[in-house]
Structure 1
Amino acid sequence: MRKFLHYAGNIAGMIIAFVLYAFLQGFYFFPKKIHMPMKSVGIALITVIVLWLIFWLYKQQLKYVNNWGFNEEPHWKWKKVLVAFIGFILITIGAVITLNLVSGGKTVSTNQQELNRISLQSGMMFKIMVGFIAPFCEEVIFRGMFFNTFFTKATSFNKWAGILVSGFVFAFMHDPALSKFIIVYWVLGCVLGWVYLQTKDLRYSMMTHMAYNLLGVI
């Protein structure tokens, strides 16, 4: 019963976090449809509340099971920053190699086509979402909450199996049609999972994710 409650509670937390993330996307991808007084201030306040809530859900999970030692203080170490930087190099090289393997670098995924379309109507709000908010939310959900739920025991097998599986789930959410581009997203997800497991802190996989995403929007 305790295991069932653990899985059920954590999965519910993941679903809530994903719904909150999708809710937040509406403000940034379709800002012209949002009508409220002092819109910029309102969106900023809603963003802070939603991001705080998503990270709070993640930390609540860690209170019950945390065999890996995730999110322990001190949070900032130069060695971990170096891991994040190495992750950025790996993720950039991996993206270039896999994109050339699957398409010769001449075409982009359906997900990227849709993002390109949305960027035309949302402007700077799109860059904020893709560059900062999306990496924050996706790392909490696909790395933090995922490991807290399905790979809780700190073993070598769980480390590498978790990296591969969480990477695939991340890829599937970006390419549910299972096109050839899912390989690209899978590699990206695996590198981010590796950064998280090496540092035991989401702040560093977020840094890697943000740096990579910003390459495409700046």
Structure 2
Amino acid sequence: MRKNVLQRLVTVAAALVFYVIADIITLLPSQLKWDGATLFGIAFGILTFGGLIIWLWGRYRKFTEDVTPPDDMGRWHWRDVWSKVKGMLPGLLIMVVIQVISSLLITNHIIHESSNQTAIDALLKGNEWTMALETILLAPIVEELIFRGLLMNLAFAERNRATQTFNIILSAGAFSLAHGPSNIVDFLLYGGLGLGLAVTYARTKDLRCGIGLHILNNLIAFI
């Protein structure tokens, strides 16, 4: 167990607060119905989320400077591609299963869309380009840095079966709670998505793999 867990928790909490602030600033032009709200929203999103991503990347590097085995942050070589794909497959499968189950439950009126998705749908009206930029690209990068890069390197420097199991559960649970589930089914569905992404990071030790899957998931959901 790390000695500075409390300090790291404060960093995670600050990251979540900054994420909310960046979201508010990005959507502010459309909420205030400014002229050129889309252009202002995109510009604000790039500036605020860009600054947040740079800060988070620095925190992530600090959180992982002593982990064993270390993360892969180098350039990909063509020989690495197959090993990365194999590492991503279980997470991808989990995410596909969750999406199918969610779609079936909603289609058959067993559950309603989550409050988080309903809020996104409401914000989409007249604000499609800004929401597309945030939902498909910016939010996945920020969320992977927070819920995988920071949280999964919060408490332990040594990575073994026990510590990684703890990290995966912590990451998936926090990811689900952050998306505002309104019932146990929503919690399990979002937790399932978080599980797939956490497993991907644990297997590949490469945050870029989870970012890619997260972008793909949000792109499919957005379309």
2:91–2:195 contact (8 Å) kept in structure 1? no
> Which deviations, in whole Å up to 9, do the C-alpha atoms of 1:69-118 show, x marking residues without a partner?
124434563021453355334312222125545x5653211111111111
Q: Provide the residue aligned with 1:17 in structure 2.
A: 15
Deviation at 1:68, TM superposition (A): 3.5
Q: Using structure 1 for the length normalisation, give the TM-score.
A: 0.84
Q: Provide the residue aligned with 1:69 in structure 2.
A: 70
Q: Provide the residue aligned with 2:50 in structure 1.
A: 48
Q: Provide the residue aligned with 1:60 in structure 2.
A: 62
> Which deviations, in whole Å up to 9, do the C-alpha atoms of 1:131-153 show, x marking residues without a partner?
01111111111111111113432
The 5-angstrom pairing of residues 1-218 of structure 1 reads: 3-4=2-3, 6-32=4-30, 33=32, 39=40, 40-41=42-43, 43-63=45-65, 65-75=66-76, 77-78=80-81, 79-84=83-88, 87-98=91-102, 100=104, 105-106=108-109, 107-218=112-223
Provide the rounded CA distance (Å) in 2 between the counterparts of 1:150 and 1:105: 42
Count matched residues: 214
Give the fraction of aligned pairs with identical amino acids, expressed as a percent.
21
> Which deviations, in whole Å up to 9, do the C-alpha atoms of 1:172-208 show, x marking residues without a partner?
1113544321110111110100000111011110100
For residue 84 of structure 1, what is the amino acid of its counterpart? M
Matched residue of 2:149: which SS?
A: helix
For residue 80 of structure 1, what is the amino acid of its counterpart? K
Comparing 27-36 with 14-23, greater Cα deviation is found at: 27-36
Provide the rounded CA distance (Å) in 2 between the counterparts of 1:71 and 1:35: 43
2:140–2:214 contact (8 Å) kept in structure 1? yes
Q: Using structure 2 for the length normalisation, give the TM-score.
A: 0.83
User: Relative to 1, partners in 2 of residues 1:7 and 1:98: Cα closer, same or farther, differing over 3 Å?
Assistant: same
Provide the rounded CA distance (Å) in 1 between the counterparts of 2:152 and 2:140: 17
RMSD of aligned residue pairs (Cα, Å): 2.7
For residue 159 of structure 2, what is the amino acid of its counterpart? A
Please list every run of 5 or more consecutive structure 1 residues that lacks an aligned counterpart in the other structure. Answer: none
2:94–2:192 contact (8 Å) kept in structure 1? no
1:31–1:122 contact (8 Å) kept in structure 2? no
2:45–2:134 contact (8 Å) kept in structure 1? no
